[in-house]
A and B are shown apart, each in its own frame.
Chain A
Amino acid sequence: MTEFLQSLIRGLGSGSIYALLALGFVIIYKSTRVISFAQPAFMLAGAVLVSYLAAEVGFFAAVPIAAVLIAVLALGVERTVLRPMIGKPVFVVAIITIGVDVVVRVVTNAFIGLDVRQVGDPWGLSTATLLGVEVQQRYLVMFGTTVVVVAVLFAFFRFSRVGLAMRAVAYDQEVALAQGISVGSVFALSWAIAGGLAALAGVFVATGAGVDQQLWVIALKALPAIILGGLDSLGGAVVGGLAVGVVESLVGTYQGDVAPWLGPNFALVAPYVLMLVVLLVRPYGLFGSKEVERL
């Protein structure tokens, strides 16, 4: 039982990282209908930035600064690379973001070098006792912070004027344009928000283990999460992210005893198996809206 609870909390912790990343993907997808494959690079860049800033201003000041700076970077990418592509096929734009991802990552890797950089988080690998179960503090912090961020984001979309504009654009771009909403600024804003979320996720990934050149691979696990939840559902992104984290963690704990023939490290691909199974039943994910088919 203790083992199960520990595994569950670990899963929720790493799942909240995936949820943050998935939210970024979904926010961009909802407003621009494009999946930004540049998220892994922004995540890596965020973590690297914090590892440099933390030495100067301390961890807690470094995180928001890095998030803002990465948001600005994402905004810049959107203005220079993505804006000329409005109206082009979505797949072409998605491939362009792969190009952006490669470029940003190579530049970032030059700042990492070959060794591991520490982000200077105050938790490290130290543990706390929760309900009689020993868990690492950083998982609790990840989960808690994600809950707060998600609540703020949802409130922003629900109650603020800008959030309303973003929802309008997500619903129908042309109608939103006709109502006087600047669709361009909404695009830019959604990229900025996604960049900030990615940076935050990057910091969380780097807590405990540090930043190395392979960190970006973690971000790819947000892909099964967004497909699982449905590409255009914010709630789905959160649920999908947490589900991926929990499945990964539970499979990692129990698969060795139950099904050792699947090989070690099966936990890493378990989210993809889960995604395929869900898609066989629901082709638009758990909460995604079905495309209207009409002529």
Chain B
Amino acid sequence: MKGRPELYTSYAQDMAFLNTRPKRTWTGALVVVALLVPFAITDDLLMLLATGFVAAIGAIGLNIATGYAGQVSLGHAFFLAIGAYTGAALSGDPDGRVLGFGVTSLPVWLLASGLVAGLAGLVVAPIAVRLRGLYLAIVTLGLVFLGEHVFREWTSLTGGPGVGRPAAVPELFGVRLDRPSEFFSGPQQLYLLMFVLLVIFAVLARNLVRSRIGRAFAAVRDRDLAAAVIGVDLTRYKALAFAVSSFYAGVAGSLLFVVNGFFDPGSFGLLLSVQYIAMVLIGGAGTISGAIMGALFITLLPRITRELPTVLPFISADATGAVTVFQVEAVLYGLLIVVFLIVEPRGLFGIWVRVRNYWRTWPFSY
């Protein structure tokens, strides 16, 4: 072991949480950097990163169902919505215009929104378990449309289209995290909150997928009939994958709008589902770090395209010119998905693996 830090010498080490020393070092360094970032950059970038961290929690969830267990779901937006409304309703003002129960403590509504979305996943599971591949994809797509209808009509909960309702109140131990406190500004607190939550949920997910359950998921993904033959209970694990994925979606959904404080039923359409699929695929299906990379990439993309008009003068910044930023952004989504899947199916994670291998074998990297 000594002197050969990049080689596994035991099975236990192969299955360890961070299985090589460089991985341990670099993960530690990344966490430290992420904790120092809020004191170095502006508040609006912090908000964006915080949103990215929340999206990453949702993407990890989708990755558990789609990347690990092979259950293709286009219905992630539906579960995000359930989480968002559960969180918002629980922490909402009891005397307000929309339904609210006034439970503002963050751990309570966060767990509750995860659990409610997870339960919704379990309810859908009996249909999902019977279906495979593209049938499943389209049925979950149907969920999104049904959900959109319900949320549009149930105005006492959702406030109705175009009006919306306030998002969940992030209050921890009696402190409102979205308002400036003695030491930190609001965005700094939200950033740190989202980062800590992301680390917690990423660690949980990583532990889940390297456990017995994770191996069962991978077996179901690779060949479900073969998995059934070696004794994996298909119904149980497919339902479990859906429930866990929905739990993550619920948690992410309840946090997603905390940063801007407001949302309406129109936020949970097909586009949102496609964005999450894009996060998983662009980041790298079947990897936790890939899901995080993909989520940050997709969240930061609009910001990057917004800077384009200064570099490429033929793109106009408002909605009037021949080529607008919004068009460029939409086309970029599409093109990125197409190009990534054709050129690097393992996504950003795959690019990272290639870069790493180049330097690991350097100077013999041909």
Partners in one complex: yes
Q: Most chain-B CB neighbours within 10 Å: which of A101, A110, A227?
A: A227
Give min CB distance, A241 to chain B, whole Å: 15
In the complex, whether A90 has a CB less than 8 A from a CB of chain B is yes
In the complex, whether A180 has a CB less than 8 A from a CB of chain B is no
CB neighbors of B among A29-68 (8 A):
29, 34-35
- Assess whether A269 is in contact with B146, with CB atoms less than 8 Å apart: yes
In the complex, whether A263 has a CB less than 8 A from a CB of chain B is yes
- Assess whether B345 is in contact with A92, with CB atoms less than 8 Å apart: yes
Q: How far is the CA of A95 from the CA of B67 in the complex (A)?
A: 14
In the complex, whether B337 has a CB less than 8 A from a CB of chain A is yes
Q: How far is the CA of A84 from the CA of B145 in the complex (A)?
A: 32
Q: Most chain-B CB neighbours within 10 Å: which of A85, A96, A268?
A: A96
Q: Which residues of A lie under 8 Å from residue B337 when comparing CB positions?
A: 95-96, 98-99
Q: Which residues of B lie under 8 Å from residue A266 when comparing CB positions?
A: 149
Known: A98-B274, A263-B152, A269-B146. A106 touches B330 (CB 8 A): yes
In the complex, whether A103 has a CB less than 8 A from a CB of chain B is yes
In the complex, whether B133 has a CB less than 8 A from a CB of chain A is yes
Interface bracket on A: 35 or more
In the complex, whether A157 has a CB less than 8 A from a CB of chain B is no
In the complex, whether A280 has a CB less than 8 A from a CB of chain B is yes
In the complex, whether B131 has a CB less than 8 A from a CB of chain A is yes
Q: How far is the CA of A265 from the CA of B173 in the complex (A)?
A: 44
Q: Which residues of B lie under 8 Å from residue A227 when comparing CB positions?
A: 135, 138-139
Known: A272-B145, A276-B142, A293-B225. A284 touches B341 (CB 8 A): no
Give min CB distance, A83 to chain B, whole Å: 10
In the complex, whether A175 has a CB less than 8 A from a CB of chain B is no
- Assess whether A223 is in contact with B141, with CB atoms less than 8 Å apart: yes
Give min CB distance, B349 to chain A, whole Å: 15
Q: Which residue of A lies closest to B285 (CB)?
A: A92
What is the interface size of chain B, counting residues whose CB is below 8 A from a CB of the partner?
A: 40
Give min CB distance, B338 to chain A, whole Å: 4
In the complex, whether A102 has a CB less than 8 A from a CB of chain B is yes
Q: Which residues of A lie under 8 Å from residue B210 when comparing CB positions?
A: none
Partner of B334, one of A35, A103, A272: A103
Interface flags for B21-61 (1: CB within 8 Å of A; 0: not) read: 00000000000000000000000000000000000000000
Q: Which residues of B lie under 8 Å from residue A116 when comparing CB positions?
A: none
Q: Which residues of B lie under 8 Å from residue A272 when comparing CB positions?
A: 142, 145-146
Q: Which residues of B lie under 8 Å from residue A100 when comparing CB positions?
A: 334, 338
- Assess whether A276 is in contact with B139, with CB atoms less than 8 Å apart: yes
Known: A99-B335, A295-B226. A279 touches B139 (CB 8 A): yes
- Assess whether A284 is in contact with B146, with CB atoms less than 8 Å apart: no
Q: Which residues of A lie under 8 Å from residue B72 when comparing CB positions?
A: 91
- Assess whether B141 is in contact with A81, with CB atoms less than 8 Å apart: no
Q: Which residues of A lie under 8 Å from residue B317 when comparing CB positions?
A: none
For the complex of A and B, 9 pairs with smallest distance between CB atoms: A263-B153, A102-B334, A99-B337, A272-B142, A103-B334, A99-B338, A99-B334, A283-B130, A269-B149
Given A92-B345, A98-B277, A272-B142, 9 extra CB contacts under 8 A:
A92-B341, A95-B337, A95-B341, A100-B338, A102-B334, A227-B138, A268-B145, A272-B146, A283-B135
A residues lining the B interface (CB < 8 Å): 29, 34-35, 81, 84-85, 88, 90-92, 94-96, 98-103, 105-107, 109-110, 220, 223-224, 226-227, 231, 262-266, 268-269, 272-273, 275-276, 279-280, 283-284, 291, 293-295
B residues lining the A interface (CB < 8 Å): 72, 126-127, 130-135, 137-139, 141-142, 145-146, 148-149, 152-153, 225-226, 229, 270, 274, 277, 281, 322, 327, 330-331, 333-338, 341-342, 345
- 16 CB < 8 A contacts A-B: A35-B137, A88-B341, A90-B133, A94-B134, A95-B277, A96-B342, A98-B334, A99-B341, A100-B334, A102-B333, A110-B322, A224-B142, A262-B153, A269-B145, A279-B131, A279-B135
